[in-house]
Amino acid sequence: MAAEPRSSETVRGTCTAMCPEPERKQRERQKRLHKFEMLAGTENYMVPTADPDKTVKEYTRPAAGKERVQPSELRPPAILLKTVQYLVEEIVPKTDVPWVEVYNFVFDRLRSIKQDMTIQQVKGKSCVSVLEVSLRFLIFSSYRLCEEPLGSFDPKINDTHVQECFSRLLSSYELGEHKNEPEFQSLFLLYNLGLYKAFHHVLLLSTSIRESPVVKLAVAVNRAYLEINYVLFFRLIRKLSFLQSCAVHRHIEDSRQKMLQMYNHAFSSKNCSYPLLHLTHLLALDSPAATVDVCKKHGIVVDCTVHFLKTTFKNPGLLTCKRSFELIDKKQGDRTLSDIIKGDYPECT
């Protein structure tokens, strides 16, 4: 995010559009409009026209020595919330382009919103609302794009922004009560599963937050993970909400590998075998075929049943995360992605 102004006087934005007019005209001239921002019918023109109702301010790195940002370049909190609403309700649901393209556009524009917010030192409910929406979007994206090649989606960059948003949001919660705090305290612990700092943070929360059902479930998942009780771990994950499951998803593949290693040691036998369907259920995989694939990558022989043997087991290294219908996708139900990401933020008038 941009550094705060050097002057002790806080800048108050006066821009009433999603993108300041000078930037909109400049990007139009320079042919730097995103396809989502072009006026319908001008997309194939040599110089496409910017649609004022669709153009959203880009994120720009603060230049060294640059003069103080002018109020006309900044959007006040009400316009920032209106812009968030536009991104979530009009851009996120798009299905006519690869979703990674939607991600890149929304990721950049949310970053610009947070930059405007930082420069103006926006706090309170507006700040919390923007950060909550940003986190839902980033956490969902970490799951939705987990199978994308590194050139299209970098999980480390996404993770950096997730952690930055969590840091600022949790600090904001300390300044007052917010109804969505239990949800995000649980997401923080699940996303950072197994980390001492995350668990210690939750232990210091107020009793009302700590005893909320979503936080208690997250704590139980974290405890099962730390105790290496993977049977309980996967059983509890089935109880998580859709977004909670997206948050914990990045820890699932490693847990499956460790569970397989434990089972291979415990049930190693030349004469006995293990039921394939039961192992599929314990690992919370989508199908027996998926279990066979994972087992083979670990040197475990499978025909109609699973044959664990210490001498054949191999560690293939960290496997690529994959999307899961059983643990995650089916939990979305009939809710739209926009509804999931926007949650409850103030309606803009």
**Model pTM score:** 0.92
- State residue 1's pLDDT score: 45
Distance CA 291, CA 81 (A): 45
- State residue 69's pLDDT score: 85
Judge whether 165 and 135 are in contact, CB under 8 Å. Answer: yes
**SS3 call for 177:** coil
- State residue 349's pLDDT score: 34
For residue 325, which amino acid is it?
A: F
- State residue 3's pLDDT score: 45
The DSSP H or E segment spanning 202 is helix 196-203
Structure tokens at 337: 């992605």
- Going by their DSSP bridges, the two strands 301-302 and 305-307 should be labelled as antiparallel
Contacts for 158-162 with beta carbons within 8 Å, 24 or more apart? 158/107, 161/107, 161/111, 161/134, 162/135, 162/138, 162/191
Mean pLDDT of residues grouped by 10 in the chain (349 residues)?
A: 52 95 96 96 95 96 72 96 97 96 98 96 94 98 95 95 97 92 97 95 95 97 96 96 97 94 93 94 94 93 92 84 92 94 60
The DSSP H or E segment spanning 161 is helix 155-173
